[in-house]
Amino acid sequence: MNEDIRVGVFVCDCGSNIAGFVNVPEVVEYSKGLKNVVFAYEGKWSCSVDALASMQESIKEHNLNRVVIASCTPRTHEPVFKKTVKEAGLNPYLLEFVSIREQVSWVHMKEPEAATEKAKDLVKMGVAKAILLEEGEEIRLPVGTDCMIIGGGMAGMTAALNIAEQGFKAYIVEKQPQLGGILNRVSNVSHNHINMPAAEIVKAKTDLVKANPNITVYTSTDIESVDGYIGNYKFVLNTNGETVNLDISTVIVATGMREIEPEGMFQYGNDPRVITQLQLEGLIKVWNAECGIGKSEIQNPKSKIQIQNVVIINCVGSKNEERGCCSIGCPISVKNALAIKKINEDINVHILYRDLSMVKDEQIHLQAAKAAGIKFVRFPGDRYPEVTKEDGRLSVDVYDLLLGSEYKLPSDLLVLTVGFTGDETIDAIRGHLKVSTNKEGFFQERHIKLGPLDFPSDGVALCGCAKNPKTLKETQEEGIGAAMRASIPMKNGYIEAEGIVADIDLTNCNNCGICYKRCPYGAIKVDENEEPSVIKALCKGCGLCAADCPKECITIVHYSDEQLLAQVEAALEENPEKKILGFVCHWCALGGVDMAGVSRLQYPPNARLIRVMCSARVPIKLIERAFELGAAGVLVVGCEFPTCHYITGNYACETRIKRARRKLAKKGYNTDNLWLAWCSAADGPKFANTMRDMVKQLGIG
Amino acid sequence: MPEEILIIGGGIAGINAALNIADYGCKVYLVDDTASIGGMMARLDKTFPTNDCSICIESPLMYEVDNHPKIEILTNTEVRRVNKSNGTFTVRLLKKAKFIDEEKCTGCGACMEVCPVSVPDELDGKIGGMRKLISMPFPQAVPNVSVIDPRCRYGKMRDQGACVGGCVVDCSQCRECPIALCVKACKEEGKDAVLLWQSDKPMDIEVKSIIVATGIRSAEPDTGLYGYDIYDNVITNTQFERLMNAGGPTAGQIIRPLDKKHAEKIAWIQCAGRGLAKGLPYCSKVCCMIAAKQTIITKEHDASVDTLIFYNDLKAYGKGFWDFYQKAIENGVKYIRARPYDVFEDPETKNLTVRYENLDTGEIEEEEVEILVLSTGLIPSDRNKRLAKILKIELDNLGFFKEKDPLLTPLETNVEGIYVCGGATGPIDISESVVQASAASMKAVLRGTE
C-alpha cells in the first residue's frame, strides 16, 4: 500500500462517564505516539452536534484518511459516526470504533490505572486495524418486477393479487387443473359468527385472479428446473407438455399441505365407514347439496348405511414421538360435527379428544356444539379408543378420563382427525430453491419468531400451509404478508448489502466446495468448473466461509485476517502473560458486554476484546497466534443457542473450537486456557462472571 | 394523498410494520405512548419454542428502526384526534414531556445515580423492582434517553424525599432549577439535558393509512385468587418472566421476591381465573407454551429445582410447540392434569400448599411449593376503548379491535384505511404478530394506489 496513512484518534470523555475513571489526556498523548497517528483529540461529548462538526473539520484540516473513535459502543453509536465521517468526505469503512466506556470505564471503576492501560491497548488495537482498513461500499443487485408464486391455493392467490395490485407481474404455477388448493375439498369455513361455503370463497378469489391482467396462471403445470437467485431466477415450466421459460425476480412458496392417510388405523382402509375429516368434508358437501339444511336422513354413499351415530376421534397419528399437534384438528372436528347436527339434529355425534385446543373466538363454536348436544369425551394419550366390529356393526370403546370409566359407542360413521404434511412436491422445490424443510414435511422459515415469511435466501418468501397447518384467516394474512416481503426489493428495484462481504481469491482455491456448502444464505455459487464466486449482494458478512476455507482464499472486507491479526498482535505486545484475548460477536456477545457495562458490573481488566460480526468468523490460526504470542488465555464468545444472527454461526464456531483444541494440544498448548462462552445480549452478569472465573482459573488476578 | 403512514404502537408488531413500510420506501411515524419502543417483547426473557433470548433478537430491529431515514420515532406520544377527509387522515398527536431534551441526553445515567427517591417499577414493582424518579425505561431502550416521573416535579413527592420537595414554584414557571440534583448532575456532565419545566407538545401530521398495533397485556389476577396479593410468593407468569430475566430486578436469579430464598419447588397454575365470573371467557393460547418455557429455563438455571404444572387442556398448536412440550417433560417437568381449588400459606416458611383434584385419578391431592405462578392469560390493552373512539373503529365484545370481515379481508377495520395487527386483534404470539404486521403494512402502502 503506497497510500500515506493518516490516522486521527478521537477519544471521548462522555462527560465524566469515561473521563471519571480513565485518564483520557494520557490516552490521547499515548495515541499521538502510535504509528501513523497524525492527530489525537479529547472530546467532552463526541456525539454532540457541535463535536461532530468539529470532528469533520479536523478530518479535513489534518487530511485524515483513517479515523478511530474511542467512546461508547458501536452497537448504538457507530451509525452516527459513520454518517459524520461520510459527510466529511471520508469513506465510512475507514472508521474504526473502540469501546472504552462499556468495556473499560463502566466496568473497572475502582481501578483507574488498569482502566487507563486497557483503554490505551484498545486504542492501539483500533489504530492497528485502522491502518489496514480499505474503502468499502454498499453493494446493489438489480431486481426486476416479476414474481413467481408456487401454488395456486388461497395463500398463493392472495399473494398474487397483492403483487399484481402494485403493477408487478405475478405468475402462479399450480400442478392441479384448477386453482383453490385444499379449500376445494372443504365444505364450509367458519370463523367467529361467520359461516360460508368454501366454494364461494374459492370462486370469489379465483375470479379476481383471472380478471387481473397482471397475473398469469399456469394450471396443470410442473416446475422442471429453477436456476439463479434473486433478480436472476430462470424457471422452466412444463405446462400440459409444453415448455415455458420465465425470467423471474422473486419467488413466493405457497405449496400448501395434504392430509396424511391413516392407513391401517382404526380399520381405515378396511371399512368404508371409517373416513378422514377431509372425506367427511366431501360428504357434508354432498349432503348439503342433496338434503339442504334441516331435518333429513343422511347416508354414507359408500356403505349405503343410514347414519345415526357419528364418532369423531381426534389426534389420530398426532401428538406422539413422530408428529406434534396437527394445529387445526380440534376446531375442524367441532365445525364438522356442528354441520352434521345442522343437517339432522337427531344424529348422535361424539367427539373423542385428548386436549381441546380451541382458542379465543373458537370458544363460540365449542359452546354452540355443546348446546347442539354434541358429546365430548376425553381420553388419555396413552389409552386411545379401540374400534371393534361385531355382526357387521362398528363400535368404539373409549375410556372417559373425566368419568374414569369405559364405554362403548356405536358408530355408523367413524371420522378420524388426522394430521397434515407438506405437499408431495416439497422435496423437489427444496432442491430447486435450496431451502430447508422440517421432519414433519413442511418448509422451514428463516426465523420462527422474527422471520416467519422469509427463507434465509433473499427474495424467496414463504406463506400458508406449506409452513404449517393454519386457518383460512391466517393463510390469507400470510399471503398478504409474503407479498410485502417479496415486493420490497421489487419496489426498490434492487437489494443492497452492507460492504462487509466475502471476497474469494481463486489463486490457491482447490475447489473443495466447503464455502459453497456452508454458506447459510446461498450467497456462494460454483460454476461448471467448480470454481466458487460470491454474489456479494446476498452475502451477510458473517465470515463463516473465510474461517473454514482450508486454503485461506476468502477475505471478509472490514474483518480480514490481516486486520484481525493486527489487533491480536497489538493487544499482546506488552505483558501478554497477564492478558486474555477475546473475540466477541457483534450481535449477542457484544450486547452482553454492553449490558455488563450499563449495569456497572465490575470485573477484572485483563481482557482485550476484538469484535467480529459472528463467532463463526474466528479462524483457528488467530487463536493459535495469540497463544504463540504468550496470551494467558483466549476467549471466544458467541450468541446463546439457538439464537444466531447468521442462523447457525454459533454451531459452526462450536465445532471449530473443538478442532482448535485438538490442534493446540498437538502443539503443546494447554487447551484449558481456551475458553468458549455463549452469552445473550441481556446477560451482563454472565459475561462478568466469565471474566472473573477465567482470571481466577488462569491465575492472573 | 400523502405518502406517510402512522403506526400506533412500537412493540414487535409496530416495529415490523415500520421496517417493512420504510424499506418499501414510504415514510413512517412510529408512535408509542411509553418512553421506549420495544413493547412487551423487550421485557421477556426468552421466546418459545426455541428459547431465543428475546431482547437479543429484538434490539437489532430496534436499532434499525432508530437509524432508518424513513422512520420517525415518537415516544411518550399519544394520539389525540383523528379526522378523515378526502381519504386523508389528519392526526393530532400529543408528545408528552419526558422533561428531558432527547437531542442532548446520551443515556449516561448520571442523573439516575444522584436521584434520591426510588419507587416501585411499574412492571417489576411487585417482585421488588425499583427505579429512580428519573430512570431509563430499560437498558436497551430506543431512544436511549432518561425520563422523569411527572410526580417528581413541583414538590409532589415531598414526603418521599424528592430533592425539589421544598420548592414552592411550579416547575413549568422556571427555565432552570437551582435545586434538582438531576439537573445539576447533568450540567456537571456538560449536557444540560434535564428540563423539569418542559411542557407537552402537540403535533399535527397527515397520513394516508393508519396501523393500530397497540398490543396486549397480561391479566392481573383478582386479589385472593389462589392467594394472589395476600400471600408473598404467589406471582403471575409475567412477573416470573422478569424473575428469570438477567435484566430483571433479581439479575436473573430465581429467588422469592421478599425473603430472597432460592426456590426449590415451583408450581404453575394454568388458566388461572378462566371461566370465573370476572375471569377470562376465552383461551389465550400462549400460556401453555409460556409455562413450558419458564419451566425449561428454570431447570436450565438449576436442574435440581422441582417444577410442576397444573393444567387442563394442553395447547401445543403451533410449529415446534409439541417438541417444546416434550422437551419440558424430558427436563423433568411434572405435568398434572388437575383442577386446583385452594391455596394456603404456611405462616412460618411462607410456602404454599396447593390442593387440587387430580383429573387422571379423581383423587384430592396436595403439593407444597415455594413459589406459585399463576398463568393469567392475555387481555385487551387498557387504551383500546379511548383509541377506538378517537379512530372511530369498533371493538369486539371482548375489547379487542374488530376486523370488519376477518375471513375475507383480514386486518381491515370498519374505517377504510385503518388496519390492525398483533395483540390489538387478540391473544397472539410473536410470529403471528410479525405475519400480521407484514400483511397490515402491505395493505397500508397499497391504499390509494388504484
Domains plus CATH for chain A?
Answer: 1-136 (3.40.50), 146-258+422-494 (3.50.50.60), 274-418 (3.50.50.60), 499-555 (3.30.70.20), 559-701 (3.40.50)
Task: Scan residues 331-360 of B and list those with Cβ closer than 8 Å to A.
Answer: 337, 359-360
Residue with cell 438489480: A142
Residue B367 sits at the chain A interface (C-beta within 8 Å): no
Residues of A in contact with B432 (CB under 8 A): 452, 474
Listed residue (A138, A175, A171) closest to A249, CA to CA: A171
Task: Give the tens place of pLDDT for each residue, A289-307.
Answer: 877 655 567 777 777 778 9
- Same domain for B74 and B138, yes or no, is no
Q: What are phi and psi of B427, to 5 degrees?
A: -60, 135
Task: Scan residues 594-653 of A and list those with Cβ closer than 8 Å to B.
Answer: 595, 598-599, 639-640, 642-643, 645
Q: Can you give the pLDDT at residue A292? A: 62
Whether B190 shows a pLDDT value over 90: the answer reads no
Nearest to A191 among B60, B282, B407 (CB): B407
Q: Can you give the pLDDT at residue A71? A: 94
Residue A436 sits at the chain B interface (C-beta within 8 Å): no
Residue B85 sits at the chain A interface (C-beta within 8 Å): no
Nearest to B439 among A380, A477, A639 (CB): A477
Quote the minimal CA–CA distance from B168 to chain A in Å.
31
- The three cell numbers locating residue A58: 479536523
Residue type, B261: K
Proportion of chain B above pLDDT 90, given as a percent: 80
Please judge whether A357 and B247 are an interchain contact, meaning their C-beta atoms are less than 8 angstroms apart.
no
Coil vs helix vs strand at A343:
helix
Strand pairing of A305-306 and A299-300? antiparallel
Q: How confident is the model at residue B186 (pLDDT cuts 50, 70, 90)?
A: very high
Residue A492 sits at the chain B interface (C-beta within 8 Å): yes
Task: Give the tens place of pLDDT for each residue, A231-284.
Answer: 999 999 999 999 999 999 999 999 999 999 999 999 999 999 999 999 999 999
Residues of A in contact with B285 (CB under 8 A): 359-360
CA atoms within 13 A on the CB side of B251: 13
Search chain B and give the residue with CA nearest A196.
B407
Query: Across residues B200-229, what is the average pLDDT?
Result: 95
Q: Are A258 and A421 in contact (CB under 8 A)?
A: yes
- Same domain for B242 and B298, yes or no, is yes
Low pLDDT (below 50) residues in chain A: 1
Residue with cell 418499501: B24
Q: Are B71 and B28 in contact (CB under 8 A)?
A: yes
Task: Scan residues 147-186 of A and list those with Cβ closer than 8 Å to B.
Answer: 162, 165-166
Rounded distance between C-alpha atoms, residue A17 and residue A15, angstroms: 6
Tell which of B407, B409, B430, B434 to mutate to test the A interface (max A CBs under 10 Å): B407
Residue B104 lies in a domain: no
Nearest to B322 among A324, A361, A380 (CB): A324
- Same domain for B262 and B355, yes or no, is yes
- Same domain for B363 and B234, yes or no, is yes
User: Among B378, B399, B415, where does a domain finish?
Assistant: B378
Whether B449 shows a pLDDT value over 70: the answer reads no
8-state DSSP, A639: P
Q: Are A69 and A7 in contact (CB under 8 A)?
A: no
Coil vs helix vs strand at B441:
helix
Q: Which of A428-437, B226-235, B260-269, B345-354 is predicted least confidently?
A: A428-437
Task: Give the tens place of pLDDT for each residue, B33-91.
Answer: 999 999 999 999 999 998 888 988 898 899 999 999 999 999 999 999 999 999 999 99
Residue B193 lies in a domain: no
Residue B351 lies in a domain: yes
Nearest to B411 among A191, A477, A639 (CB): A477
Please judge whether B407 and A686 are an interchain contact, meaning their C-beta atoms are less than 8 angstroms apart.
no
Query: Across residues B206-232, what is the average pLDDT?
Result: 95
Q: What is the CATH number of the domain that holds B50?
A: 3.50.50.60
Rg of chain B, C-alpha, whole Å: 23
Search chain B and give the residue with CA nearest A443.
B319
Distance in angstroms between the alpha carbons of the first and the last residue of chain A = 41
Please judge whether B53 and A47 are an interchain contact, meaning their C-beta atoms are less than 8 angstroms apart.
no
Nearest to A492 among B25, B45, B317 (CB): B25
CB pairs under 8 A between A and B: 238
Please judge whether B426 and A360 are an interchain contact, meaning their C-beta atoms are less than 8 angstroms apart.
yes
Residue B398 lies in a domain: yes
- Same domain for B328 and B404, yes or no, is no
Q: Are A541 and A500 in contact (CB under 8 A)?
A: yes
H/E stretch holding A483 reads helix A472-492
Search chain B and give the residue with CA nearest A378.
B313
H/E stretch holding A277 reads helix A277-291
Task: Give the tens place of pLDDT for each residue, A121-158.
Answer: 999 999 999 999 999 999 999 999 999 999 999 999 99
Listed residue (B45, B418, B443) closest to B214, CA to CA: B418
Q: Can you give the pLDDT at residue A296? A: 66
Task: Give the tens place of pLDDT for each residue, B263-280.
Answer: 999 999 999 988 766 778
Quote the minimal CA–CA distance from B318 to chain A in Å.
6
Q: Cα separations (Å) of B250 from A675, A684, B39, B257?
A: 27, 13, 21, 8
Quote the minimal CA–CA distance from B371 to chain A in Å.
23
Q: Can you give the pLDDT at residue A643? A: 84
- Same domain for B172 and B131, yes or no, is yes
DSSP per position, B201-217: EEEEEEESEEEE---EE
Buried b (16+ CB within 10 A) or exposed e, A657-683: beebbeebeeeebeeebbbbbbbbbbb
Please judge whether A323 and B188 are an interchain contact, meaning their C-beta atoms are less than 8 angstroms apart.
no
- The three cell numbers locating residue A93: 469503512
Q: Can you give the pLDDT at residue B165? A: 79
Residue A491 sits at the chain B interface (C-beta within 8 Å): yes
- Same domain for B77 and B173, yes or no, is no
Q: State chain B's mean pLDDT as an integer.
A: 93
Residue A246 sits at the chain B interface (C-beta within 8 Å): no
Please judge whether A599 and B106 are an interchain contact, meaning their C-beta atoms are less than 8 angstroms apart.
no
- Same domain for B275 and B359, yes or no, is yes
Residue with cell 443492497: A496
Residue B292 sits at the chain A interface (C-beta within 8 Å): no
Tell which of B408, B421, B446 to mutate to test the A interface (max A CBs under 10 Å): B408
Strand pairing of B234-236 and B371-374? parallel
Residue with cell 409452513: A467
Q: Can you give the pLDDT at residue B448? A: 83
Residue B53 sits at the chain A interface (C-beta within 8 Å): yes
Please judge whether A201 and B407 are an interchain contact, meaning their C-beta atoms are less than 8 angstroms apart.
yes
Nearest to A327 among B318, B337, B450 (CB): B318
Rounded distance between C-alpha atoms, residue B179 and residue B165, angstroms: 9
Alpha carbon B120 to its chain's center: 16
User: Among B378, B399, B421, where does a domain finish?
Assistant: B378
Residue B45 sits at the chain A interface (C-beta within 8 Å): yes
Residue with cell 461529548: A45
How many helices (DSSP H) and strands (DSSP E) are in chain A?
A: 18, 36
Report cis status (omega within 30 of 0) of the bond before A642: yes
Q: Can you give the pLDDT at residue A74? A: 92
Q: Can you give the pLDDT at residue B225? A: 92
Residue B103 lies in a domain: no
Q: Can you give the pLDDT at residue A586? A: 93
Q: Are A223 and A148 in contact (CB under 8 A)?
A: no
- Same domain for B184 and B206, yes or no, is no
Residue A214 sits at the chain B interface (C-beta within 8 Å): no
Query: Across residues B400-426, what is the average pLDDT?
Result: 96
Residue type, A635: L
Q: What number of other Cβ atoms are within 10 A of residue B200's Cβ?
A: 12
Please judge whether B281 and A324 are an interchain contact, meaning their C-beta atoms are less than 8 angstroms apart.
no
Residue type, B230: I
Whether B292 shows a pLDDT value over 90: the answer reads yes
* C-alpha angle A621-A624-A629 in degrees, rounded to nearest 5: 125
Please judge whether A361 and B315 are an interchain contact, meaning their C-beta atoms are less than 8 angstroms apart.
no
Task: Scan residues 89-148 of A and list those with Cβ closer than 8 Å to B.
Answer: none
Residue B100 lies in a domain: no
Residues of B in contact with A75 (CB under 8 A): 63
Residue A493 sits at the chain B interface (C-beta within 8 Å): no
- Same domain for B172 and B311, yes or no, is no
Task: Scan residues 99-128 of B and list those with Cβ closer than 8 Å to A.
Answer: 103-104, 106, 108-110
- Same domain for B292 and B227, yes or no, is yes
Search chain B and give the residue with CA nearest A75.
B63
Residues of B in contact with A640 (CB under 8 A): 53, 56
Rounded distance between C-alpha atoms, residue A147 and residue A145, angstroms: 6
Listed residue (B27, B85, B92, B81) closest to B416, CA to CA: B85
Whether B450 shows a pLDDT value over 60: the answer reads no
Residue A483 sits at the chain B interface (C-beta within 8 Å): yes
Residue B275 lies in a domain: yes
Rounded distance between C-alpha atoms, residue A437 and residue A43, angstroms: 53
- Same domain for B373 and B387, yes or no, is no
Residues of A in contact with B106 (CB under 8 A): 14-15, 45, 47, 72
Q: Cα separations (Å) of A534 from A139, A426, A430, A521?
A: 12, 27, 21, 11
Task: Scan residues 333-392 of A and list those with Cβ closer than 8 Å to B.
Answer: 355-361, 363, 380
Listed residue (B361, B290, B293, B322) closest to A315, CA to CA: B322
Split into its structural domains, chain B has a count of 3
Task: Scan residues 237-256 of B and list those with Cβ closer than 8 Å to A.
Answer: 245-247, 251-252
Quote the minimal CA–CA distance from B26 to chain A in Å.
11
Residue B146 lies in a domain: yes
Domain that holds residue B136: 110-188
Rounded distance between C-alpha atoms, residue A653 and residue A615, angstroms: 6
